[in-house]
Chains A and B, each alone.
Chain A
């Protein structure tokens, strides 16, 4: 069994196993949870991700502290229950966990608003993972690029991405809140995406 120290090199970059597969601490935890119902792995994952989930729940400041804790519980339980569906070769652990947190938060908002709907956020989520090796590789490269380039974004662009993704605000809500024209919000988002090299393929 791999330990945390085995899965990263000296600079904290993910290592790759003999078959060229990506190994990182959180993929490893999810795999151990699914295979062995490993509670120590779950605890490690909880200590890292629960504080991020709580921050995510509280950003935009629409949820009370109690609801934030409720959300953390719900997401962490889901992560435990669904760990068997995580495929380390096709998905990144952080994206997989973030997606669950995002969907649960949306569902919680809707529950609190007494939204009567037959659909959950997961039902309308983009769930399909590509089967094709070159697409998977391409996605991994793009992910690494996003991670390193995101630190270089100018403040105004980083701030708007934070409002859009962490606070879950629409572009027009962001425009109202910052008192900036909608067109400016959209162009800042687009400039940021351009710098991160995210674009529509045509």
Chain B
């Protein structure tokens, strides 16, 4: 059903756990509803496991084993069993939305588009839902950074083609487009954008002495 998927590079980084949180969240919503990408992700996780097993082991003392053995009888932490997802909205989005699309705070951008930002905690990426009126056109824009888009409802088209529910698209810096929602129904999509300023990388922030204070 879906014609547009994340590429192999992206699924590799996704299964290796190195994608930034907001991007990983977007990829996971697609992967969990696309059997083909699921199979690919499964193979890549098997690859990760093979590499994991082929590592040179680092000795672990019996004191650590005994420490863990002592904790085995502790009660499992209380965990809320997630109810079956009945609404068709991906479970991950339900968690972030606390309600459905109609309960969100939407910011109107003209009369054809409104945007609602969801909080993922990823400091480098915007994670937002776009609601485009049926037939509505978004003015032409250039992508200054990378944008991932996943269509949740409806669809849209641009000069390159038309896209439907479940399709996953990625725009690189410099791409220009002017998407128009399909005439038949409103379009809701999830968009993940690089924040305007993105100079820090993970490794750098991890070494920040301020953080070390709390990790000691």
Residues of chain A at the chain B interface (Cβ within 8 Å): 37, 39, 42-43, 46-47, 50-52, 54-56, 58-59, 62, 67-69, 72-73, 76-77, 80-81, 92, 94-95, 97-99, 101-103, 105-106, 109-110, 112-119, 121, 123-128, 130, 135, 138-139, 142-143, 146-147, 150, 161-162, 164-166, 168-171, 173, 186, 189-190, 193, 196, 198-202
Complex-state Cα separation, A193 to B49, whole angstroms: 14
Whether B21 lies near A119 (C-beta < 8 A) is yes
Q: Which residues of A contact B206 (CB under 8 A)?
A: 62, 109, 112-113
With A52-B57, A62-B206, A94-B49 known, 9 other A-B pairs at CB within 8 A are A73-B67, A95-B48, A127-B32, A138-B39, A143-B43, A146-B43, A150-B47, A150-B54, A166-B51
Whether A117 lies near B52 (C-beta < 8 A) is no
For the complex, is B72 an interface residue (Cβ under 8 Å from A)? yes
Whether A114 lies near B55 (C-beta < 8 A) is no
5 contacts between A and B (CB under 8 A): A101-B52, A102-B16, A119-B21, A161-B47, A198-B8
Residues A55 and B95 in contact in the complex (CB < 8 Å), given A62-B206, A98-B45, A126-B32: no
Contact of A118 among B49, B50, B95, B215 (CB under 8 A): B95
Distance to closest chain A CB from B209 (angstroms): 13
Whether B57 lies near A125 (C-beta < 8 A) is no
Specify the main secondary structure of chain B where it touches its partner: helix
Whether A112 lies near B39 (C-beta < 8 A) is no
Query: What are the interface flags for B46-72 relative to A under an 8 Å C-beta threshold, 1 for contact and 0 otherwise?
Result: 111111111111111000110111011
Residues of B91-129 at the interface with A, using a CB-CB cut-off of 8 Å, are 92, 95-96, 119-123
Complex-state Cα separation, A193 to B15, whole angstroms: 13
Q: Which residues of B contact A68 (CB under 8 A)?
A: 58
Q: Which residues of A contact B140 (CB under 8 A)?
A: none
Residues of B156-189 at the interface with A, using a CB-CB cut-off of 8 Å, are none
Nearest neighbor of B82 in chain A, beta-carbon distance: A123
Q: Which residues of A contact B68 (CB under 8 A)?
A: 46, 73, 76-77, 80
In order of increasing CB-CB distance, the 5 nearest A-B pairs are: A117-B121, A51-B57, A98-B49, A95-B49, A54-B58
Q: Which residues of A contact B24 (CB under 8 A)?
A: 124
Whether A142 lies near B25 (C-beta < 8 A) is no
Q: Which of A39, A56, A119 neighbours the largest number of chain B CB atoms within 10 Å of its CB?
A: A119
Contact of B31 among A97, A102, A115, A126 (CB under 8 A): A126
Whether B121 lies near A118 (C-beta < 8 A) is yes
Complex-state Cα separation, A42 to B72, whole angstroms: 10
Q: Which residues of B contact A62 (CB under 8 A)?
A: 203, 206
Q: Which residues of A contact B14 (CB under 8 A)?
A: 126
Q: Which residues of A contact B143 (CB under 8 A)?
A: none
